[in-house]
């Protein structure tokens, strides 16, 4: 995968994602982004169990998000994830949540997420596996 490639994950808004007014509760955008990051890694052959088996975890180290427009019950969304930079023990991802109506995409939320690779037991920084860095760097 090329560092500049954008991964996309479609999803629909269900009632459990919304508040009493039928608007997506702001924290759920972070859940949607987490799913897209997980599916990005899975699409590259790095499922959660594979990472856990290596005694690693990726944890959110920092997050900067901006909510532009609300998503609503039954909306079809597309969540993106793009690795913009990485170091030995971190990845920086740019993420977006769009409402998808036929050919039109409307940006609802954007975020920059810094993920730290840590040892599963000690929660101390640990080098990202070379195989994963190779996939993210190509």
Q: What pLDDT, in 10s, does the model give residues 40-59?
A: 988 888 876 667 677 888 99
State which residues form the domain around 103: 7-129
Q: In what order do the strands lie in the sheet with 7-12?
A: 7-12, 76-86, 90-101, 104-119, 56-67
Determine the Cα angle at 135 with ends 107 and 30, to 5°.
35
Q: What is the pLDDT of residues 52-100, one digit of tens each?
A: 677 888 999 999 999 999 999 999 999 999 999 999 999 999 999 999 9
The closest of 34, 36, 54, 56 to 117, measured between CA atoms, is: 56
- Residue 15 sits in a domain whose CATH number is 3.10.129.10
Residue pair 2/136 in contact (Cβ under 8 Å)? The answer is no
Within a domain: residue 78? yes
How many domains are there within the chain?
1
Catalytic positions, written as ranges = 19
Within a domain: residue 137? no
Q: What is the pLDDT of residue 137?
A: 61
């Amino acid at each position: 995968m090329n560092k500049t490639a954008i991964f996309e994950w479609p999803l629909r808004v269900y009632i459990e994602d919304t508040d009493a007014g039928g608007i997506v509760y702001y924290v759920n955008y972070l859940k949607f982004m987490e799913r897209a990051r997980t599916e990005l890694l899975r699409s590259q052959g790095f499922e959660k169990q594979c990472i856990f088996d290596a005694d690693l975890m990726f944890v959110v180290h920092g997050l900067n998000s901006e909510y532009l427009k609300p998503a609503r019950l039954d909306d079809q969304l597309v969540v993106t994830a793009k690795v913009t930079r990485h170091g030995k023990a971190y990845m920086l991802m740019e993420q977006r949540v769009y409402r998808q109506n036929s050919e039109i995409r409307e940006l609802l939320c954007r975020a920059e997420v810094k993920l730290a690779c840590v040892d599963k037991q000690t929660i101390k920084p640990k080098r990202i596996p070379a195989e994963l860095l190779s996939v993210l760097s190509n």
